[in-house]
Amino acid sequence: MYPEDALEAALVDDVVDFFSDVHSKLYKTMSLPSVEEKEAARQVALGEGGEVSAMLAMLEANVGAFAVGDSMTLADVFVFWYLNFLNCGFWDGVTDRADLIVTPYPKLTAISEKVKAMPKIKEYYTKIAANEPMYKCYAA
């Protein structure tokens, strides 16, 4: 899942690091004093014109059928993991908000669905989701 080609490997690293940057934008909402403020800040960040929305739109504009190259890599797994992490219930205010997480990013969503369809991924998350409801979005 990690390319042998040096340039493609660097691009995979960029996508992996990119999601750390996205995470830092959302993580700062954790320190807000109330649930309402956290929810509102996350919706703004992921909404049209928000910091995270702009970042995801930039990635969306620069991917094809896969995040890097013409086959599945670790970068695709990170797309799958983070889009589902946004939707899984961890982030109050954005859970199940397809309008913020799925609809604006059809290429990223398609990449996520390809990873989700992998038998080992599906098996793993289906097993975990049986006891941990937060993981259902990874398996569904």
**Average pLDDT, rounded, for the chain:** 95
The sign of the torsion formed by the CA atoms of 55, 58, 64, 68 equals negative
pLDDT single digits (tens) 20-56: 999 999 999 999 999 999 999 999 999 999 999 999 9
Q: Give helix 106-116 / helix 74-87 axis angle, nearest 10°.
A: 100
Domains of the chain: 6-139 (1.20.1050.10)
Give the tens place of pLDDT for each residue, 66-85.
Answer: 999 999 999 999 999 999 99
